[in-house]
Amino acid sequence: MIPTGASINTQNTQPIEQPSQTWRLDFNRGRVTGTIDGLDAVRQAVSKIVQTERFRYLIYDADYGIELDGLIGWDPVFVQSELRRRITEALTQDDRVYSVTDYQIDIAGDTATVRFTVVSSFGSFQEEVTTRV
């Protein structure tokens, strides 16, 4: 039974920014090597997002990862516009990422290399993604 006449006082509540501290992942050795925070944590999150194909792994929810496999075989002009959209959509799911700018896309044969700038609450940095198209 739901009580009647009750209310929640929302006048004195203020949003609290969640900490960005997380485990440092050493991808070369396959180990966790301490913790990171701030810009390093955002950089690692971006790297993980662009390496994770969306909807492939049940451990992640439907908003995590990027959809790159579906671009194989399409016209390069379409691929360029979709890469911009899909990368921006994937990365801005993270509240710390404000925008993705300065895209440079090079398509050679069946490979696309995308360079871009991630603007986050902790600063900006360059990132690069290479994928089959």
pLDDT of residue 14: 77
pLDDT of residue 20: 85
Contact of 125 with 96, CB cutoff 8 Å: no
Q: Which fold has domain 22-132?
A: Nuclear Transport Factor 2; Chain: A, (3.10.450)
Q: For CA atoms 32, 37, 43, 48, give the dihedral sign.
A: positive
pLDDT of residue 84: 97
Residue 8 pLDDT > 80, yes or no? no
- Work out the average pLDDT over 6-19: 72
pLDDT of residue 19: 78
Contact of 46 with 64, CB cutoff 8 Å: no
Contact of 133 with 86, CB cutoff 8 Å: no
pLDDT tens for residues 79-104? 999 999 999 999 999 999 999 999 99
Q: How confident is the model at residue 21 (pLDDT cuts 50, 70, 90)?
A: very high
Residue 16 pLDDT > 80, yes or no? no
Query: With b meaning 16 or more CB within 10 Å and e meaning fewer, what string describes 7-29?
Result: eeeeeeeeeeeeebebeeeeeee
Among the ranges given (5-14, 27-36, 65-74), the one the predictor scored with the smallest mean pLDDT: 5-14
**Domain positions in the chain:** 22-132
pLDDT tens for residues 41-67? 999 999 999 999 999 999 999 999 999
